[in-house]
Structure 1
Amino acid sequence: MYESAPRDPCGVVRRALDAVSLSDDELVRILTEVESLARFVDAAGVRLAAEVAHRSRRELGGERLSARRGCRNGAELVQRATGVSGASAGRRIRLGLATRADVGLAGGEIPARFPAVAESLAAGDLGVEAAQAIVTTLEPTLGVADPSHAAAAEADLVAAATETWTDEPEHRADGAIGGAAPPVIDADTVRVQAKVWAEYLDPDGSAPDERDEERRFMALHRPRRGLVPVTGLLLPQVAAMLRTYADAWTSPRTEPVPDPTRAPGDCVPDDAADGDGAPAETRSRAQVMHDVLATALNVAARVVDAPSVAGNAPTLVVVARESDLVSGEGAAQTDDGTALSITAARHVGCAGAVQRVGIDAAGRIVGLWSSERCFTGAQRRAIALRDGGCVIPGCHVSAAWCEVHHVVPHADDPDGTTTDNGTLLCWHHHRTLETSGWAIRMVDGLPWIKAPGWLDRAGRWRPSRPGGPTAAGQSRVRRQR
């Protein structure tokens, strides 16, 4: 592994300040190198904040550093000296104390509570946000978990957080060697994986707070100007699930949630294109939340226990000409006359939400596809157990919201509807897989992922990092390989 820090930090900063003149490739590379440099600076800030707190501990009385500087405690001294918020000062101190080695009364060294995090922070390999995610999530389990298990969890999370797409140094055109590579997962994904480990380390956890459970409600009111007002109070876990899925749908260009007292016409989304030519998100955050609910209803319609409609499970029927299905051109329509593109018809068929009916030019039925080619409920549950959620790194959509994707298309392998050919993708990544640069293949029944070229210049295949109950076992398998 090459050094994480840029070889010429001053030059990197100067280039970053002139970002307008950078090409697309330079912009992404400099962004990555600046973040690599910032990890060293942030780690130093955490270490210094912890030392201030240590020298300001209460048992020192009037000799406390904070008292001698006219501050109530170490956090206030850090806040005044740096200008950061009180919350930021507190977070720096908590992380610094958790990763700080100390000296005991007998003169021996007392190791840090999180030595692997401390080592990676000092080396500039681990970002502060990822370190905080590991420490704050695992710390409550230290009192009940087996120390060896807790150490294994910390080591696994640090390894995941510091893994980069490119292990070899980049040789640029000017002969210099790049000193940074994009991480495989972000701090949000580290926190998700840390929660999985925390549940393993402390299965009992903390008792849920049910004081407000009786106040939960949702009400649909009478239509008003063609729309149905909705009011309610959601339980935190329900709101968190909805918000997490909405985050996966929301692009950086999404507008903030509009003021609910304003008329719908007052909220005008920004539909300009991004600089790379990709279409920008045209929906507001509130509109995204509406579409998430619509997707949830579609997901519910696919479950085995869904209420029947005239004795049948709710099924979307898609009608298309056989010649259009073969050529990939033309249009399809639903049983209520709604027009669909052939691409959309094929896609929802892969997700198992439709029954396809083929007709010839005269309208005669020439093909009737049952849902048997779609993944069964038992297969979906097994795949969900294995994958835990969308397998694209950095995506946090849970298994319940995902669709099962045929890695080898059904048209190429009619007998390929097996767990060894299915993997979980969220609605967004399922529909953009062919254009986003991500690639998936199955190796010994496990999904392997290849990142877009701008993330991984080497174009290597990597096993997915599952978020389900099998995560710990698969981590061991990867290490053995």
Structure 2
Amino acid sequence: MMEELAQAEAAVAACGDAATWALGEHDLVAALDAAHRLEQRLAAVKLALVRAVDSRGTAAAQSASSTTVWLRDRLRLTVPAARRLVDLAAALDAGAPGVRAALAIGDISVEQARVIGDTVNTVHTAAGAEAADKAVGVLVEWAGQFDPTLLRRLGTRILDHVAPEVADAANRAALETEARRSARDRHVTLSELPDGRLRLTGSLDAEAAGLLRAAIDPLTAPTGPDDPRTPGQRRHDALADLCRLTLRTGELPEHGAEPAQIVVTTSFDALTRQLDSGTLDTGLRLTPETVRRLACDAAILPAVLGSTGQPLDVGRQRRLITGPLRRALVLRDRGCAFPGCDRPPRWCDAHHIQHWAAGGNTSLTNAVLLCAHHHRHIHHGDWTVRLGDDGHPEFVPPAWLDPDQLPRRNHYHRRP
């Protein structure tokens, strides 16, 4: 073996010095295929040697704690890479000689061999040695068409092909095992950061994951070709939209005998003069701009304090755009009124065109429906909103976007 490996090494070294740029396209692709096939065949030899080292106890004889640790030091591998070598060598030696043979002639890759080995072991446990042998043949054939990821996915249904009489029971047992693991591992963690933000981490079971995706996926699409948000930011905003909609339904369980609400505390002077900041009832602080935006809508109640801290007003109903007034607003705007937005009314806040803090009244002529994204945009951006001569909202773009500042309207919700 040593002589043959030395000759192989010399041949590979000669190939390494070859001028690949001189190869024609056909020869270039053929050489790539040959190099890949040789790499897998060498991997089969390497795995056989690893198995021999492991079974002989070479690592212990050389004072290493395990074959994995010995390989890490000997071949300068990471521990996970060394462990994968040991595990795959043992799997191919113990229960999958057909897989080892396919790897030895270069018909499959090392990653495909790992997938096939795992799958065959599962089939052997569920249906016995005969079914496992059949599975090897089917999976090796599939390996000629599919990469390791697809091969693993197809392997989950291999029993349907090689042992249909036990497939249903095995699939049911696998589903029950997965359901138990999913139920055991489900959790959501909210970690408060020093600046008031929350870090959200967790693991959802399949049902909750489906519910969350069904709820937020329609909300994560870009609002237009110029939407500057990253996918992660869009998912963040979609989750916030979902919370707003839930709070707006009024169907949450009561908390302290009152409907679930968010309370923002700020001083009256701060709100009217656009100074200072606000504080949520959880103790987290908000910027003045966020406080003024939240003060627009009925779903979130502002607790306005006087100079001595006494509550002047908590969620004044005469200020909030609710009931018949909101229904009239929905009939007029039919959704977010910002040009090009397709968000429906249930996802929209009622925005005071002249801010309530600046003396704006609560009326149909001083209100417009805006989704959360465009509500923030109006509060923070350079666009202005007003009602046109026909009583419908129109938006004036900033001069840097349109030097003529021609008013724009949303035609998406207009009925034919």
**TM-score for the superposition, normalised by structure 1:** 0.40
Larger radius of gyration: 2
Q: Whose helix proportion is higher, 1 or 2?
A: 2
